[in-house]
Amino acid sequence: MKTSLPWKKTTIEDTVAKESQGISRSKEIWMRLMRDKSSMISLGFIVILILVAIFANFLIDEKLVTEQNVAERIQGPSIKHWFGTDLYGRDIFARVIYGSRVSLSIGILTVIISTTIGGLLGSIAAYYGGVTDSIIMRITDVFLAIPEQLLAMTVVAAMGATPLSVIAALSVAVIPNRTRLVRSAVLGIVDTQYVEAARAIGMKNFGIIFNEIIPNSLGPIIVVSTQGIASIMLTASSLSYLGVGIQPPTPEWGAIIFEAREFLRIAPYMLLLPGFVIVLTALAFNLVGDGLRDALDPRLKD
Amino acid sequence: MIRYVARRLLLLIPILFGVAFLIFFIMELSPGDPATKILGIEAPPEAKEQLREQLGLNDPFFVRFFNYTKNIAFHLDFGVSWRTKNPVFQDILPRIPVSLTLASLGILFATLFGIPLGVISAVKQNTIGDNALRVVATVLVAVPTFLLAMLLILIFSSKLGWLPASGAATLESYILPVITCGGPYGCAILRITRSTMLEEIRQDYVRTARAKGVPDNVVTFKHALQNALLPVVTTIGQNFGAILGGSVVAESVFSLPGIGSLVILGIRSKDTPTVIASVLLISIFFAIIMLIVDLLYAFIDPRIKAKYAKANA
C-alpha cells in the first residue's frame, strides 16, 4: 500500500533494509550458534548446572554436605550415595552439588570482575594512547611477567584462603591478560570511520568508549571470557588441590579431590567422580566458547 | 641482532625490578609477625624484638625493599629462609636443575606431540583419525593438571606398575610429570597447528607445488608447515606460563624437589623470603624463554630478520 505522503514512500529497498535490521546481529549470531550441536548441548549442561547450583537446597538436604557418618565411610557408589562416601562418611554427590555453588561462582565472578576492570584499562590505554597507554601497559607487563597461577597463589598466600580472597587473587592474575586483549581489540577500532564520525558530531571520549568502542570489540572478549570461566575454575581447583586455595571442609571441587587424594589407590571413585564433573563443566564452557567464536566469525570455522 | 638481544635483556631489568616489588608488596600484606613465625608464639618479646631489629623488619617498607634488591644485585643474597634457616639461595640452587629438566622436557614433549599430530590432523581433515585427535585434544584441555597427574599415577604406577609415582632419582621418574605438564600444552599446539595448516594447504602456492609434481610429503612438511609455523611458535611462547604453572602442580603431585614445590612449601609454612625468591626466579626464567621465542621468529620468518638487520644498520 502506498502512503499519501511522498517523503514517506516505502520502497522495496526500505523494507529489505528494515527486515535485515530486524534480524539484529546478536540474533543472527544466536541462530548460527543454535546450529552447532556441541555448543547447544554444552549450553544446556551449563544452564542445568547453574540451576542445580542455585536450587541445591531444594534438591538435596544441606546437612548431607557436612554430616559425618562413620558407619558409612568410604563406601563405593550406590543408589543411596550416587558418588559414594568419603573418609568421614559424607555423601560425595551432595558435596559436589553444593560445591558447584562455590566453583561456579568463583569462575563466573572472576571473569566478570577481571573482564570489567581489564576491559576498562585496555580501552582507556588504547583510546588515549601516549603516556596513559605507556603507564598502563608497563604496569601490565610486570604482572604478565609472573605466570598466572603463581601470581594467584602468592596473592592467596598473602590474603588468606577464603573464597573471596581466591576470587580477588584470580582476578588480579587475570586482569593484565584481559587488559592486553582488549587493548589490541580496541586499537583496531579507534581508527575506523565510525569512531571518527562519533568524534565529529561532538561525542565525549567516555561516550565514544562506551557506545562505539566497547560494543564493537565485544566479540573476541566474549569468547575469551567464556573459555576463561573454564580455565579459572581449573586454576581455582588446582589451588585448593595444592592446599593453598579454598580449604576443606568447604565443598569446592578441587578441595573435595584434595581430601580424596590419599585414597587414590584404595577408593579411586572418590576423586574420579568429582573429577569427571570438573572435566565436563570445563569442557562445556570451552565448547560454548568455540561455538561462539565460529558464530561470531564464520570465516574462522574450518 | 646482537644489539637487539642486548636491548631486550636491558629492558628485562625494569620488568624484573617491578616483579620483585610486586611480590614483595603482596607478601607484605600477609598478616602475622615474622619474628613470631620464626621463633614461635612462646618466645619472649625481647628475643622477638631483637630478631626484628636484626632482620631489619623495623625499617620502613621502601628501605627494606631497597636493601633486599641491593643484596640480590650485589651478593646474590635472597635473604634467609624462615623455615630452614638456610640462605634461600642455597635452598633453591639444587632445585633449579629439576625444574629446568621438567620444563624443557615438557616443551619438547608438547612440541614433538603437538606439531606432527596437528599436521596429520589437518592433512587427513575429517577422517576418523582427525576427529579422534580433535576430541582428545578438546577433552585433555579441560582436565585439571592435578587430576591428569593422579590418573597417570593410577594407571601407570598403581595398576600397571611401569613407572614410579614420585621422586626424581632416575630419568624414568620424569616421564609422568613431563606428560602431566606437557600434555595439555601439546594439545594447544596441536589445535593451532591444525588450524594454521588447514589455511596453508588451501593456498595457491601449495597447489602450484603439487601441480609441478612435488611429492605430497615435501609439500606438506617443507612448503606448508614452514609457513604455518609462525602462529605455532607464538602459541608455544604464549602458553609457556601455563607449563610453568603446570610444573608447580606436577612437582607437588609427583614430589619432585623443584622450585615449584618449594613455592608451595614456602606458602604453606608462610616462609616469605623463600616465596619471593622462588617466584622471582621462575619469572626470570619465564622472561628468558619469552625472549628466546621472540628470537625464534627471526629464524622462521625472514621478514622479521630483515627488520632486525634494518634496525641495526
Q: What is the pLDDT of residue B88?
A: 81
Q: What is the pLDDT of residue A167?
A: 92
Angle between helices A214-241 and A269-296 (to 10 degrees): 170
Which chain B residues are within 8 Å of A155, Cβ to Cβ?
26
Q: What percent of chain A has pLDDT over 90?
A: 16
Q: What is the mean pLDDT of the segment spanning A50-65?
A: 80
Choose from A14-18, B29-33, B177-181 the range with maximum mean pLDDT: B177-181
Residue A245: C-alpha distances to residues B29, B197, B247 (Å): 17, 40, 17
Q: What is the pLDDT of residue A12?
A: 55
- Per-residue pLDDT band for A114 (boundaries 50, 70, 90) equals very high
> Which DSSP string corresponds to B297-311?
HHHH-HHHHHHHHHH
Which chain B residues are within 8 Å of A159, Cβ to Cβ?
29-30
Q: What is the mean pLDDT of the segment spanning A197-205?
A: 87
User: What's CA B10's distance to the chain center, in Å?
Assistant: 21
Q: What is the pLDDT of residue A279?
A: 92
Residue A92: C-alpha distances to residues B142, B158, B209 (Å): 21, 23, 60
Q: What is the pLDDT of residue A113?
A: 94
- Per-residue pLDDT band for A1 (boundaries 50, 70, 90) equals very low
Nearest residue to A106 (alpha-carbon basis) of A163, A50, A49, A66: A163
Q: What is the pLDDT of residue B299?
A: 74
Q: What is the pLDDT of residue A4?
A: 46
* Helices and strands in chain A: count of H runs, count of E runs: 14, 0
Q: What is the pLDDT of residue A15?
A: 53
- Per-residue pLDDT band for A131 (boundaries 50, 70, 90) equals very high
Whole-angstrom distance, CA of residue B220 vs CA of residue B205: 12
Query: In this model, does residue A20 exceed pLDDT 60?
Result: no
Q: What percent of chain B has pLDDT over 90?
A: 0
**Averaged confidence pLDDT in chain B:** 81
Q: What is the mean pLDDT of the segment spanning B161-190?
A: 80
Q: Closest Cα of chain A to B83: distance in Å?
A: 16
Of B144, B195, B270, the CB nearest to A237: B144
Side-chain half-sphere exposure of A44, counting CA atoms within 13 A = 7
Query: In this model, does residue A37 exceed pLDDT 80?
Result: yes
Q: What is the pLDDT of residue A2?
A: 43
Query: In this model, does residue A16 exceed pLDDT 80?
Result: no
- Per-residue pLDDT band for A23 (boundaries 50, 70, 90) equals low
A123-127, A193-197, A264-268: the lowest-pLDDT one:
A264-268
Query: In this model, does residue A171 exceed pLDDT 90?
Result: yes
Q: What is the pLDDT of residue A14?
A: 56
CA dihedral for A282, A284, A288, A290, sign (positive or negative):
positive
- Per-residue pLDDT band for A174 (boundaries 50, 70, 90) equals very high
Q: What is the pLDDT of residue A300?
A: 56
CB pair distance less than 8 Å for A153 and B286? no
Side-chain half-sphere exposure of A143, counting CA atoms within 13 A = 23
CB pair distance less than 8 Å for B27 and A143? no
Residue whose entry in the numeric block shows the C-alpha cell 552447532: A36
Interface test with A, best of B147, B152, B192 (most A CBs within 10 A): B147
Which chain B residues are within 8 Å of A237, Cβ to Cβ?
144, 146
More confident residue, B308 or B119: B119
Which chain B residues are within 8 Å of A252, Cβ to Cβ?
none
Q: What is the mean pLDDT of the segment spanning A5-19?
A: 52
CB pair distance less than 8 Å for A254 and B154? no
Q: What is the pLDDT of residue A281?
A: 92
Query: In this model, does residue B313 exceed pLDDT 50?
Result: no
CB pair distance less than 8 Å for B245 and A235? yes
Query: In this model, does residue A3 exceed pLDDT 50?
Result: no
Residue partners of A274: CB distance under 8 A and separation at least 6: A83, A92, A95, A96, A99, A253, A256, A257, A260
Q: What is the mean pLDDT of the segment spanning A24-53?
A: 85
End-to-end CA distance of chain B: 10
- Per-residue pLDDT band for A108 (boundaries 50, 70, 90) equals very high
